[in-house]
Amino acid sequence: MADTSRRTLQLLSLFAARRRWSLGELAARLEVSDRTARRDVETLRRLGYPVTTVRGPAGGYELGAGHPLPPLLFDDEQALAVAVALQTASTSVLGLGDDAARAADTLKQVVPPALRSTMDTLRLTTLRNYWEFPGAPIAPSALRAVGSAVRHRHVLAFDALRADGTRPDPHDADFAPPRRLEPHHLVVWAGRWYLVGYDLADDTWRVHRVDRLHVHTPTATRFAPRAVPGGDVAQLVMTTHDRGDTVSTWECVGTARINLPAETVARWAPGGSVVEHLDTDHSRLTIGAWSWAGVAGILTTFDADLSELEPPELVAAGRRLVQRWGRVSDR
């Protein structure tokens, strides 16, 4: 009986996430036979939930409209996912720490004790240091404005900010009039938020760092959707080299081609570095450090073949490190 009740709650959770499921999908999610899944659906019907049978090749079961689902119905895995998401939200969006904590407390008040215990299982300490935080968090207002424009397909007007977050004045040499962009996708990659859109001034696809945008009042001017070049948004972000990333100010800045995919390098590259996608197995990393030996040492941590190192000072530092390690005694 306990297993049946547990599966009934899990069924409700599945229908809360998606209204229509095939019998095979339900059986697989519940880890039971098709026959048992049918009986569980019948149990929901006896409880008053309007689950209808959908005929045909794409058929299955569908929860009808007009019957509210129990609020905040989570299974253990969903509760753990919410706990992790809330605890890591403040690492990419500025000022969400207190709000995320309050949201977690609110959820704990309305979920059953067992799920409350699950949410308390994982307590994260989020480190925001040079090695583990590749991008600065963005303002919630900017995220809401850009996200709303993407969802409603409204043309976005914005000013480009400098790398330090300041906005050029009209008398500054780098001042430019507001840009108008069709915002198509909001992408998170390597800890940074990017806006992918079609620039109306030069009829070109652009990738912008969201934290480098000063968004103007929404235009409410609608646009028709376009297909991104190549049909792959992630590929477009990774292969666009002028997406707004800049290397942090260091005494020494070097670059190298690494025999690793960009997504792997971006995952572990220090903050303030720039990762460029070259092909499926190679990328280019531009990083800075207080010395050329420091740059060479960071490149070595990826434990992959390197080529096309620049500038010559970096190559010389690498050779010195090889000689130094060659003199290391077995003692």
> Could you please report the per-residue DSSP string of 236-273?
HHHH-TTSS--PPP-SEEEEEEESS-HHHHHHHSPTT-
What's the mean pLDDT in 93-97? 66
pLDDT at 130: 35
331 lies in a domain? no
pLDDT at 4: 64
Neighbours of 323 (CB within 10 A): 9
- Of 204, 239, 274, at which residue does a domain stop? 239
Percent of the chain at pLDDT exceeding 90? 23
Predicted confidence band of residue 67 (pLDDT cuts 50, 70, 90): low
Least confident among 135-139, 149-153, 185-189? 135-139
Domain tally for the chain?
4
Cα three-residue angle 194-199-201, rounded to 5 degrees: 150
Predicted confidence band of residue 254 (pLDDT cuts 50, 70, 90): very high
Neighbours of 256 (CB within 10 A): 24
Average pLDDT, the chain: 80
pTM greater than the 0.95 cutoff:
no
Closest by alpha carbon to 14, among 28, 1, 2, 4? 28
Predicted confidence band of residue 136 (pLDDT cuts 50, 70, 90): low
Give strand pairing partners of 186: 195
Please give the residue range of the domain that contains residue 116: 76-121
DSSP type of residue 149: H
pLDDT at 182: 94
In this model, does residue 89 exceed pLDDT 70? no
Domain shared by 173 and 198, yes or no: yes
In this model, does residue 44 exceed pLDDT 70? yes
71 lies in a domain? no
Tokens of 88: 């890591």
174 lies in a domain? yes
Tell me the CATH number at 322.
3.30.70.250
Domain shared by 261 and 231, yes or no: no
